[in-house]
Amino acid sequence: MDSDRRRHSRSWDWDSPECRAQLDDVFFRQHDYIQAGSPEHKEFWTFFDRFQRFKTKRDMTGSGSSRKEEKKDRKQTGHVDLGLPKDYDARYRINVSVCTRDVEERLAKSEHRGRKSSSGPGPQEVSDCRLALLHFLDFNQRQSFGKLAKLRREQKNLPIFQYRDRIVDLVRRHPVVVVAGDTGCGKSTQVPQYLLSAGFKHIACTQPRRIACISLAKRVSFESLNQYGSKVGYQIRFETSRTAATKLLFLTEGLLLRQIQQDRTLAQYEVLIVDEVHERHLHCDFLLGVLRTLLESRPDLRLILMSATINIKLFSDYFNSAPVMQVPGRLFPIQVIYQPIPPEEQASRSEKLDPRPYLRILQAIDQRYPPEERGDLLLFLSGVAEISTIQEACQIYATHTRRWIVLPLHSTLSLAQQDKVFDIAPPGVRKCIISTNIAETSVTIDGVRFVVDSGKVKEMSFDPKAKMQRLQEFWISRASSEQRKGRAGRTGPGVCYRLYAESDYDAFAPYPVPEIHRVALDSLILQMKSMGLGDPLSFVFIDPPPAASIQTAVTYLKEQGALDSHSELTSIGSLLAQLPVDVVIGKMLVLGSLFNLVEPVLTVAAALSVQSPFLRSSQHNPDCATARQPLHSNQGDPFSLLNTFNAWVEVKGERGGGSRKWCRRRGLEEQRLYEMVNLRRQFKDLLRSHSLLESEDSAPSAGDRTQRRDRLTERRKLHQLKRDHEQQEGSRRKVLRLDEGQDGDFSSGSDSEEKGKGKKDKKGPEQDVDIQEVKFKLRHNVSELQDAVNVSQDLSSRQQALLKLLLCRGLYPQLALPDEHNNTRKDSEQVFHTRNKQGVVIHPTSVFASDPEVLHVPEDETREMGPDRRDSSRHQLLAFVTLLETNKPYLSNCVRVPALQALLLVANSVDSNADCTRLVVDGWLEVELREQEEALNVLSTALTLRAEWERLLQAQLGQGSMGVSGVHGVSRKAMEKLSEGLVRFLLYTEVSYSLRRLAAFQTQNLYVGPQSESELFDAKSQGLNPLFPGLEAKPDPIKGGLRVTSFFTYNCLTDSKDLYSECLRTFWTCPNCDLYMPLTPLERMQHEASCRPKGEQHNEDPSDERASSSSSASSLCRVYHCDICNEDLKLTSTEILKHKRQHMYSVK
Amino acid sequence: KYKRSPSEIFTCQLCGLSSPFTYYGQKPPNTRAIVLLEECFVTKDPFSPDKEKFLVLGSTCSMCSSCVCVGSDCSLFYTKRFCMQCVNKYLDQFPHQIQAELAKKRQSSKTAVS
Ligand SMILES: [Zn+2]
Ligand SMILES: [Zn+2]
């Protein structure tokens, strides 16, 4: 009996930690299966308490203590005796034993010898503990095996399980197989496993979404009991779990395409599975086209297309009538109710959605279905505005009835808010999830019984004429409609309310418009070019895009400088094709690598590649707005993002996990900042791998041994935290509160902070581990990051100017001109024009929406030159990242730049009149300068700077592509000098000019057109040295005039006077040589370009520039006398110009 | 006696449950003081956060040598492993606690079906 034992056990107390610790020394030593201090160890002692209580209870009731086995005569079955013990003991049912004899002997000895540990465990205690441990081990085995058995049962119950052998057989016999099955048939998780266990190795399975790659890899590796092995892996942009042992890899379609770029035959794979082909994403359509060709050279390759049961024939036909295996989905019956919206409740375009039809359905559900019958409602609307309208109305109803929790779901919500839809409603209450089509395929919510389908979707389309993306509302397709309906039947029979008539349904398009027909094809065409796929127009797509969009893309890429005039890749183009980012972002990175601005450019490029961290819902919260204020920069949104990131890194360095609170207070989604920091790091690696950035010292970053050890210990701890978190992840869902949805979109920063605190109390400290912070610390060295960030903090105005120029050049031709009447308009009515679209507005999230004055030309600095001509030196343009039309065309992520300087430095086409006082840029912006002298100076400076910039850029790129590491194609000196020149030009050009957009009729007869040779050329002009080495001024065959550089055409504008007409000649003294004569502007520029001032290098290190240029340029050198220095110098023409320029600036 | 082959598959002859095993024997790796009382098909426990934990999938019936999983529908351990067929065959040799338990289980599964 218990009391008995206690008497015998001297001072033994099972509840005393000391006593337990003594047993820990026996059973849970450092190398034991379970170690003291581990989570299992803790579990054991909890189990032990339970086990003791159970034993006591059993002993008391006497139920188990009946030691005497009934001496029933055993009828011997046959002659076999199993030799089982006579007396029953639960111990005999455990197939494990624990040997601790060594320790026990030691214990016994020490007790015997010195009686030192008189209070130590006696044999009884050790035996009690051992018994409990055996039961504990057995209990854990049973639990885990139970889970395994359940898993296997579920796998067997999947519809696709019946087709297992047939699928494997088809794959063995055919190069291409189509597996078509609807939601819930299990194809994505099972088919790869079937192929693995059939002996196929090196399987790649593509997914349209990154998140699916990770979750599928986790799921499949879990199902194949290989959770911690590496046979199943994933690889997404910038992140991989792939190892040499990986047999099955989940990856994005885009990534597989990149792999084909490296390895034309994909020799690394034996089987390719392309999943979700019916979704018809751009990359997927393209991938299919590429694979179709690739199969010809890889007859051994197996290709499996997996699709919903939509348009299967299209895929089968595209691959030479590939066999199709159709698998039924697992859907419960769904009742469809058509409830078209009556005309009086239909919203016209401008009006808000009428909530009445939606409320009626909520009411109907409340009336028809008792609250004990569980089942949530999923409501599909077209967009965010519609969601908040209906959410508001439903919330009022929900507050009244207390039977609903209303939750919005769309991609611009914070992740925490998105996550709420997976939480559970309390008994008697239903979730009403109001979602965009994100819940149609991307997000799967269990427990939905009712679906309400508005029949509408907002889809992005690309308008090639306006070069603008457009978000428009459409009727959905029948396929989408079925998909939405299916969401009601995943866990049981369901109901689908369609807010349109059956006749509408019949009139829907059968399938959604494939992406390739809707979007800009720039990246696609660039990739095709770099893969050497020939003319994009003749490529056999499964569903070819319109020729016009291909053409638009080619033109755009030419404007961006990625393709040359023959549509061939330029050196920058081939680099851009390898960077897995948008063309404009890639350009920024490349440009940034040239100057000392890599760190801020990396941040900006990363920031512009992820969703904005500024939560829209917090914008109207005054506290958030105030807290955010110091982060805003009126230079432009990229600068606000840069400030935000820098400030965040600083907070991270100081307070670590405190950054979460910091973000909340400012209405920032911290997840985006984590994405940025990861992306930034990857961009850096990318630039390094293309030799565009010096490699950092690989030597361990400082610190003595103890420091390193500390860091190592910390990392181990972090890894443990991460593992623990992954274990808990998704294990249990929270129960929602009834008022959960109410604060929804309108939650203020301080409110949610309080809520956070409340949660913390409930959960306890361990639950509150900020896993993002843990991952962040594992991935990044905070102090290194701080160093990097310090570089980009408090940029000088000069660096800022240069950074803006880089962004502008990256973003070009995405430029917008403020309307000339903006000064007199209200803040909310500021209008802008792009080349292809007039009357666009700034998105309300942009800094320029709240602070438009900084874009205005200051009144006191303008000179009215006429009714519509205002001269100033302060005109500005906006370079923007996106132009998206929703209800209005909006510009987002804008940066302001000085207009004339930026245009002259980045534009592809600058045309002038004879005296260069009138310039037309890219055929749509007209610049009129007041002073001919100033005009020439500005133009000449710009031409020189651009030539030098181009030269250095090419040198940098050439170096990158040749992969010569260590050798720097661009000397630091040359780079610094160029940036100095650019900054001066940007900041100190004080030239008065007018700037306006040309009206359509003005662009009609812009150019003089081709001229005859005799008209243009005389011996004189040919005798002049070209402005730039290697470029000759040739007559432009289309515009007329003289093409001086690839972007500058002189005297081609129709108002131009005759090139050599005497009236243009003015007397001019060359500041460098003794020349004094009447010259035309062109003659003068040509002279200036060739007559280089000397003495330029006096204040420089002569060994650098001269040594490097002497070999290549000595033939171009000539003796030049500089008046200012009063010295004869032997210089090249470029050097002379630089020399001259130096004097020019120093005089100023 | 020790077999370690990562690619071999254990399959229960009664319920068909199959799964790759990483070890066969009585002393799975990293178990220290723990010894199995029968030769088992063992894999790493995929449900434990600790990758060192083992999971016994099944073993062979001490009477008929058929390969069975440790699920309670397929086998029973009572000092030795018995497949359910053998348990039923020699039911009377098992202690009455086990007999009662099995009878109760049979009863409840019957009611669950009906
Ligand atoms: Zn079994
Ligand atoms: Zn047997």
Residue A151 lies in a domain: no
* Chain A partners within 8 Å of B30 (Cβ): 33
Which member of A69, A145, A726 has the closest CB to residue B95? A69
CA dihedral defined by A460, A463, A467, A472, rounded to 10 degrees?
Answer: -40
A95 and B36 in contact by Cβ < 8 A?
Answer: yes
Which of the four pLDDT bands, split at 50, 70 and 90, describes residue A637?
very high
Round the average pLDDT of chain A to a whole number and report it.
82
Q: What is the mean pLDDT of residues A903-928?
A: 91
pLDDT on residue A1026: 37
Domain that holds residue A562: 520-566
Which one of the ligands is nearest to B81 CA? 2
pLDDT on residue A942: 93
Range picked from A158-172, A778-792, A1056-1070 for highest mean pLDDT: A158-172
Residues A561 and A629 both lie in one domain = no
Place of tokens 């929270």: A734
d(CA A753, CA A772): 18
| Nearest residue of chain B to residue A154 (CA atoms) | B17
Which of the four pLDDT bands, split at 50, 70 and 90, describes residue A63?
low
pLDDT(A762) > 50? no
**A510-514, A592-596, A940-944, A986-990, range with the lowest pLDDT:** A592-596
Which one of the ligands is nearest to B88 CA? 2
Which of the four pLDDT bands, split at 50, 70 and 90, describes residue A1024?
very low
pLDDT(A485) > 60? yes
**A44-48, A130-134, A1101-1105, range with the lowest pLDDT:** A1101-1105
**A369-373, A465-469, A522-526, B93-97, range with the lowest pLDDT:** A465-469
d(CA A275, CA A642): 38
* Chain A partners within 8 Å of B83 (Cβ): none
Q: Give B88 Cα–ligand 2 centroid separation in angstroms.
A: 9
Q: Give A516 Cα–ligand 1 centroid separation in angstroms.
A: 51
CATH code for the domain in which residue A411 is found: 3.40.50.300
Residue B93 lies in a domain: no
d(CA A358, CA A344): 14
At A569, list the tokens: 């890749």
Residue A496 lies in a domain: yes
| Contact between A549 and A536 (Cβ < 8 Å) | no
Round the average pLDDT of chain B to a whole number and report it.
87
Q: Give B105 Cα–ligand 1 centroid separation in angstroms.
A: 16
pLDDT on residue A116: 47
pLDDT(A1061) > 80? no
Q: Give B79 Cα–ligand 2 centroid separation in angstroms.
A: 14
**A442 vs A274, residue with greater confidence:** A274
Q: How far lies A940's CA from each of A10, A700, A851, A1120, B19, in Å?
A: 102, 49, 35, 20, 76
Q: Give B76 Cα–ligand 2 centroid separation in angstroms.
A: 10
Residues A403 and A503 both lie in one domain = yes
Which one of the ligands is nearest to B69 CA? 1
Q: What is the mean pLDDT of residues B53-77?
A: 95
pLDDT(A1140) > 70? no
Residues A280 and A139 both lie in one domain = no
A148 and B95 in contact by Cβ < 8 A?
Answer: no
Q: What is the pLDDT of residues A848-858, one digit of tens each?
A: 998 888 998 88
Which of the four pLDDT bands, split at 50, 70 and 90, describes residue A94?
very high
**A741 vs A449, residue with greater confidence:** A449
Q: What is the pLDDT of residues A3-38, one digit of tens each?
A: 444 445 457 788 888 888 888 988 998 888 998 988
The distance of A181 to chain B (nearest Cα, Å) reads: 25
Domain that holds residue B56: 9-86
Q: In 3-state terms, what secondary structure has residue A409?
A: strand
Residues A259 and A319 both lie in one domain = yes
Residues A433 and A550 both lie in one domain = no
B96 and A32 in contact by Cβ < 8 A?
Answer: no
Q: What percentage of residues in chain A have a pLDDT greater than 70?
A: 82
pLDDT(A72) > 60? no
| Contact between A1045 and A1027 (Cβ < 8 Å) | yes
CATH code for the domain in which residue A532 is found: 1.10.10
pLDDT on residue A166: 96
Residues A287 and A376 both lie in one domain = no
Q: What is the mean pLDDT of residues B66-83?
A: 96
Residue B112 lies in a domain: no
B70 and A145 in contact by Cβ < 8 A?
Answer: yes
A88 and B95 in contact by Cβ < 8 A?
Answer: yes
pLDDT on residue A484: 94
pLDDT on residue A1101: 44
**A1086 vs A828, residue with greater confidence:** A828
Residues A545 and A594 both lie in one domain = no
Residue B110 lies in a domain: no
Residue from A69, A220, A225 whose CB has the most chain B CBs within 10 Å, to mutate? A225
Angle CA A786–A790–A791, to nearest 5: 125
> Of A669, A696, A723, which closes a domain?
A696
Which member of B19, B35, B89 has the closest CB to residue A225? B19
Residue B34 lies in a domain: yes
B20 and A100 in contact by Cβ < 8 A?
Answer: no
Angle between helices A598-609 and A797-811 (to 10 degrees): 50
**A131-145, A646-660, A1127-1141, range with the lowest pLDDT:** A1127-1141
**A209 vs A476, residue with greater confidence:** A476
Residue A711 lies in a domain: no
Which of the four pLDDT bands, split at 50, 70 and 90, describes residue A284?
very high
Q: Give A144 Cα–ligand 1 centroid separation in angstroms.
A: 15
Which member of A33, A77, A147 has the closest CB to residue B32? A33
Q: Give A248 Cα–ligand 1 centroid separation in angstroms.
A: 28
| Nearest residue of chain B to residue A196 (CA atoms) | B7
* Chain A partners within 8 Å of B57 (Cβ): 145, 148
**A804 vs A122, residue with greater confidence:** A804
pLDDT on residue A260: 93
pTM: 0.75
Residues A313 and A202 both lie in one domain = yes
Residues A583 and A542 both lie in one domain = no
B44 and A228 in contact by Cβ < 8 A?
Answer: yes
Q: Hey, what long-range contacts does A79-88 have (CB within 8 A, 24 or more apart)?
A: A80/B63, A80/B90, A81/B93, A82/B63, A82/B80, A82/B82, A82/B90, A82/B93, A82/B94, A84/B78, A84/B79, A84/B93, A84/B94, A84/B95, A85/B79, A87/B95, A88/B95, A88/B96, A88/B97, A88/B98
B 8-27 residues with CB below 8 A of A?
9, 17-20
| Nearest residue of chain B to residue A75 (CA atoms) | B92
**A108-112, A798-802, A844-848, range with the lowest pLDDT:** A108-112
Report the sign of the C-alpha dihedral through residues A290, A296, A297, A298, in that order: positive
Of the CA atoms within 13 Å of residue A53, those in its CB half-sphere come to: 7
At B19, list the tokens: 């799964």
pLDDT on residue A1092: 60
For residue B13, count other CB atoms closer than 10 A to its CB: 18
* Chain A partners within 8 Å of B98 (Cβ): 88
Residues A396 and A506 both lie in one domain = yes
Residue A554 lies in a domain: yes
Residues A300 and A338 both lie in one domain = no
Which of the four pLDDT bands, split at 50, 70 and 90, describes residue A608?
very high
Residues measured by CB to lie within 5 Å of ligand 2, the ion: B 61, 63-64, 83, 86
**A968 vs A637, residue with greater confidence:** A637
The distance of A770 to chain B (nearest Cα, Å) reads: 19
Which one of the ligands is nearest to A152 CA? 1
Which of the four pLDDT bands, split at 50, 70 and 90, describes residue A788?
confident
**B51 vs A1040, residue with greater confidence:** A1040
pLDDT(A840) > 70? yes
User: What's the structural domain count of chain A?
Assistant: 6
Q: Give B74 Cα–ligand 2 centroid separation in angstroms.
A: 10
* Chain B partners within 8 Å of A225 (Cβ): 19-20, 43-44, 46
For residue A23, count other CB atoms closer than 10 A to its CB: 23
Q: What is the pLDDT of residues A298-329, one digit of tens each?
A: 999 999 999 988 889 999 999 999 999 999 87
pLDDT on residue A1089: 67
Q: What is the pLDDT of residues A213-239, one digit of tens each?
A: 888 888 898 888 765 566 899 998 767
User: What's the structural domain count of chain B?
Assistant: 1
Which member of A33, A87, A149 has the closest CB to residue B34? A33
| Nearest residue of chain A to residue B99 (CA atoms) | A88
> Of A284, A312, A327, which closes a domain?
A327
Residue B107 lies in a domain: no
pLDDT on residue B42: 94
| Nearest residue of chain A to residue B82 (CA atoms) | A82
Residues A609 and A670 both lie in one domain = yes
Q: What is the mean pLDDT of residues A446-467?
A: 88
**A1083 vs B19, residue with greater confidence:** B19
d(CA A988, CA A975): 20
Residue B102 lies in a domain: no
pLDDT(A517) > 60? yes
Residue B40 lies in a domain: yes
Which of the four pLDDT bands, split at 50, 70 and 90, describes residue A615?
confident
Q: What is the mean pLDDT of residues A727-755?
A: 54
pLDDT(A170) > 80? yes
A99 and B49 in contact by Cβ < 8 A?
Answer: no
Residue at B63: amino acid letter: M
A224 and B47 in contact by Cβ < 8 A?
Answer: no
pLDDT(A743) > 90? no
The distance of A259 to chain B (nearest Cα, Å) reads: 29
d(CA A433, CA A452): 10
Residue B114 lies in a domain: no
> Of A664, A680, A696, which closes a domain?
A696
Which one of the ligands is nearest to A145 CA? 1
